[in-house]
């Protein structure tokens, strides 16, 4: 069609024709060209669509009558017309006049042509609102669509895959489609189908892979190898969809991450961030980041495989989505692997990441903070470089003015920056971060309280000025409250912070004890997790340097053991 100048001819029919049906048919044909923006852009198609009048209510009612009572030829023509009107955009109106039951009857019992165009119509209708998708599913469209995947003609298979993909954008439909057995034939189409079938099947798998159970099912059906093959030999659209499926598969499932790496996905994904289209670079970066999450082997393979330099280049891109995806991937690569942290810092990632803190979008800032927090963990060189680039003042501004999720990320980044570096602790204190962190201890979200307690504990390490501000701002009462009734991470980091504050100042030891810290610390020492017990024991050891505290701790320990002995005796 493109080579024969068909797009121009059809566009003329749509915009200047005087035969309504011809306009609708031409518009439907042009809709197929929008999958390639070089042939017809979405904006150009939308302009053409608006130039065609809407069908009247009477015309729609007549169409439904034909679909139900017409001859086979009339039903064939009606199914085609229904798909064309749906492309024009009257999807709610079609649903309102009762077209859905008629189309689903055709899926089950129609001629081959009726079945094909009924599937196409339903796919177009499903590409609209949740209400329409739910209505299609409630009419039991899914079973006959899955049957077409298994036993339909080549064209019917691809239309069924498209329609199921559109329906699966609704989470309830996604689970139901998988229960009907769609995943196995979709994987089969990705493996051995025509180009069109592969394209729509991988699109459907991408929509289905937003569901945890479906991710497991796709992997169980051996869906990963054909997806990896599409990364290497698929069309641009197929590669993009396959990248997104693999990224989804890796989001929450550790064994699947290992499977994806074992099946060879990492080298082609790295190639895509170097040489792919703009969208492919973005999606490949997300996929590599997800593969790195809590998987040190994958993380090292990706870093040593050459991903870091092109990811840093994406950070400097003019395309906002690429910056965000690159920051995400670099943060994940730095989260578990020291070699990656060093390499990322050496390749110049820190400066553009700090730039995102100042002028990025909300999501870019969040990903940049996570990356910077991970880069400075156990890495003094990166930590110093982050401070030199001016990150601390930007983080403090976010701590004061940012939305909740950014405040938590900023507190986490400041915690890591303060962890092993005296100069950073001094700079963070001088920038006024402590008062803001104490405010989060009192009134923040659970995650903010956890990050703030950790940050304050690190800021108290060999930092007399910082300890003075922490104590003066009344942090101790909030820390004691967290040890007493906080979440497990809050208890751990609050005990850690109290331990640091009690380290070498007699006045602070007395103040901490006066705030009632000893009983909850003794309880935590006895009943907490391993790390909680460690920090509680250390804190109590520092507090016991005061004679009165030492006596109080001994009495509390003795008192806390008595009920346990009595309980054992009763058994």
pLDDT band at 15 (very low <50, low <70, confident <90, very high): confident
Mean pLDDT over 252-263 rounds to: 94
Q: Which of 561, 541, 559 is nearest to 549 (CA)?
A: 541
Q: Which of 170, 178, 273 is nearest to 216 (CA)?
A: 178
Selection from 26-40, 86-100, 335-349 with the highest mean pLDDT: 335-349
- Find the Cα–Cα–Cα–Cα dihedral 24, 25, 31, 36, rounded to 10°: -140
Token pair for 444? 């923040």
Given this model, what pLDDT does residue 6 score? 74
pLDDT band at 566 (very low <50, low <70, confident <90, very high): very low
> How many Cβ atoms from other residues are within 10 Å of residue 45's Cβ?
18
Whether the pLDDT of residue 463 is over 70: the answer is yes
pLDDT digits (tens, 9 = 90+) for 22-79: 999 988 888 887 766 557 888 888 899 899 999 999 999 999 999 999 999 999 999 9
Whether the pLDDT of residue 2 is over 90: the answer is no
CA distance 255 to 270: 21
Whether the pLDDT of residue 420 is over 90: the answer is no
Token pair for 47? 């302009």
**Cβ–Cβ < 8 Å for 106, 79:** yes
* Least confidently predicted of 23-37, 179-193, 354-368, 396-410: 23-37
Instruction: Write the CA distances from 440 to 93, 445, 501, integer angstroms.
Output: 51, 8, 18
Mean pLDDT over 1-25 rounds to: 81
CA distance 314 to 332: 15
CA distance 460 to 465: 9
Token pair for 183? 């995943």
Q: Which of 72, 170, 153, 74 is nearest to 119 (CA)?
A: 153
Q: Phi/psi zone of residue 352: left (φ > 0), alpha (ψ -120 to 50 degrees), beta?
A: alpha
Token pair for 471? 């104590």
* Alpha helices per DSSP H over 234-379: 236-249, 254-262, 266-275, 278-292, 296-302, 308-315, 320-336, 338-346, 350-359, 362-375
Phi, psi of 221 (to 5 degrees): -80, 15
Percent of the chain clearing pLDDT 70 (strictly above): 96
Average pLDDT, the chain: 94
Label residue 151 exposed, middle or buried (CB < 10 Å: 0-12, 13-18, 19+).
Answer: exposed
Mean pLDDT over 480-492 rounds to: 98
CA distance 543 to 147: 71
CA distance 121 to 315: 42
Q: Which of 182, 244, 258, 192 is nearest to 213 (CA)?
A: 182
Given this model, what pLDDT does residue 568 score? 39
Mean pLDDT over 380-391 rounds to: 96
pLDDT band at 560 (very low <50, low <70, confident <90, very high): confident
Q: Which of 263, 322, 310, 321 is nearest to 291 (CA)?
A: 263
Given this model, what pLDDT does residue 376 score? 94
What are 378-383's contacts with CB under 8 Å, separation 24+?
378/338, 378/341, 378/420, 379/338, 379/341, 379/342, 379/345, 380/420, 380/421, 381/342, 381/345, 382/341, 382/342, 382/344, 382/345, 382/350, 383/416, 383/417, 383/419, 383/420, 383/421, 383/424
CA distance 20 to 14: 9
Mean pLDDT over 86-102 rounds to: 93
Whether the pLDDT of residue 252 is over 90: the answer is no
Neighbouring residues of 448: CB distance < 8 A, sequence distance ≥ 6: 404, 407, 408, 411, 440
Mean pLDDT over 12-21 rounds to: 87
CA distance 415 to 395: 11
Mean pLDDT over 179-205 rounds to: 97
Given this model, what pLDDT does residue 1 score? 53
Given this model, what pLDDT does residue 382 score? 96
Q: What domains are there in the chain, each with its CATH number?
A: 6-50 (no CATH), 483-571 (1.25.10.10)
Percent of the chain clearing pLDDT 90 (strictly above): 87
Q: Phi/psi zone of residue 222: left (φ > 0), alpha (ψ -120 to 50 degrees), beta?
A: left
The answer to whether the predicted template modeling score (pTM) of the entire model surpasses 0.85 is yes
CA distance 426 to 216: 48
Mean pLDDT over 285-310 rounds to: 97
CA distance 135 to 246: 30
Q: Phi/psi zone of residue 546: left (φ > 0), alpha (ψ -120 to 50 degrees), beta?
A: beta
Whether the pLDDT of residue 4 is over 80: the answer is no
pLDDT band at 530 (very low <50, low <70, confident <90, very high): very high
Whether the pLDDT of residue 565 is over 50: the answer is no
What are 320-324's contacts with CB under 8 Å, separation 24+?
320/361, 320/364, 321/282, 322/278, 322/281, 322/282, 322/285, 323/352, 323/356, 323/360, 323/364, 324/360, 324/361, 324/363, 324/364, 324/367
* Least confidently predicted of 83-92, 261-270, 360-369, 438-447: 83-92
């Amino acid at each position: 069609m493109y080579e024969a100048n068909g797009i121009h001819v059809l566009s003329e029919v749509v915009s200047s024709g005087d035969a309504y049906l011809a306009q609708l048919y031409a518009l439907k044909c042009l809709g197929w060209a929008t999958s390639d923006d070089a042939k017809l852009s979405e904006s150009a198609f939308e302009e053409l669509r608006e130039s065609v009048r809407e069908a009247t209510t009477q015309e729609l009612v007549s169409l439904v009558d034909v679909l139900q009572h017409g001859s086979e030829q009339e039903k064939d023509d009606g199914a085609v017309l229904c798909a064309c009107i749906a492309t024009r955009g009257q999807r709610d109106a079609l649903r309102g006049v009762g077209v859905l039951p008629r189309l689903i009857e055709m899926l089950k019992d129609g001629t081959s042509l009726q079945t094909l165009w009924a599937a196409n119509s339903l796919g177009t209708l499903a590409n609209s609102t949740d209400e329409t998708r739910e209505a299609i599913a409630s009419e039991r469209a899914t079973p006959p669509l899955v049957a077409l995947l298994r036993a339909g003609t080549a064209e019917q298979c691809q239309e069924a895959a498209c329609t199921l993909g559109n329906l699966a954008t609704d989470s309830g439909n996604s689970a139901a489609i998988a229960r009907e057995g769609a995943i196995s034939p979709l994987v089969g189409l990705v493996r051995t189908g025509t180009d069109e079938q592969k394209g729509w099947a991988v699109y459907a798998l991408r929509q289905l892979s937003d569901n945890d159970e479906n991710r497991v099912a796709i992997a169980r059906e051996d869906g990963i190898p054909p997806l990896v093959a599409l990364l290497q030999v698929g069309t641009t659209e197929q590669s993009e969809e396959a990248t997104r499926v693999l990224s989804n598969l890796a989001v929450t499932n550790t064994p699947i991450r290992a499977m994806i790496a074992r099946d060879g996905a990492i080298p082609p994904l790295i190639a895509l961030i170097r040489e792919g289209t703009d969208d492919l670079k973005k999606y490949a970066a997300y996929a590599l980041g997800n593969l790195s999450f809590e998987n040190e082997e994958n993380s090292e393979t990706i870093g040593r495989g050459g991903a870091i330099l092109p990811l840093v280049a994406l950070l400097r891109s003019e395309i906002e989505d690429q910056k965000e995806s690159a920051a995400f991937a670099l943060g994940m690569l730095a989260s578990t692997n020291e070699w990656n942290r060093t390499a990322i810092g050496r390749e110049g990632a820190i400066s553009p990441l700090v730039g995102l803190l100042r002028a990025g979008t909300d999501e870019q800032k969040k990903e940049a903070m996570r990356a910077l927090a991970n880069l400075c963990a156990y890495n003094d060189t990166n930590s110093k470089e982050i401070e030199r680039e001016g990150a601390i003042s930007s983080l403090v501004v976010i701590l004061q003015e940012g939305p909740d999720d950014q405040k938590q990320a900023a507190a986490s980044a400041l915690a890591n920056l303060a962890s092993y570096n005296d100069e950073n602790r001094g700079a963070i204190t001088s920038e006024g971060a402590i008062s803001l962190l104490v405010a989060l201890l009192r009134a923040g979200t659970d995650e903010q309280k956890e990050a703030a307690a950790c940050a304050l504990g690190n800021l108290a390490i060999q930092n007399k000025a910082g300890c003075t501000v922490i104590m003066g701002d009344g942090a101790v009462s909030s820390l004691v409250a967290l040890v007493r009734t906080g979440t497990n991470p809050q208890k751990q980091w609050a005990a850690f912070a109290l331990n640091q504050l009690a380290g070498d100042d007699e006045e602070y030891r007395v103040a901490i004890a006066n705030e009632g810290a000893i009983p909850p610390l003794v309880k935590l020492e006895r009943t907490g997790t391993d790390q909680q017990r460690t920090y509680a024991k250390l804190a109590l050891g520092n507090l016991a340097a005061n004679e009165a505290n030492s006596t109080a701790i001994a009495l509390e320990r003795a008192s806390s053991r008595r009920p346990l002995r009595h309980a054992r005796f009763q058994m």
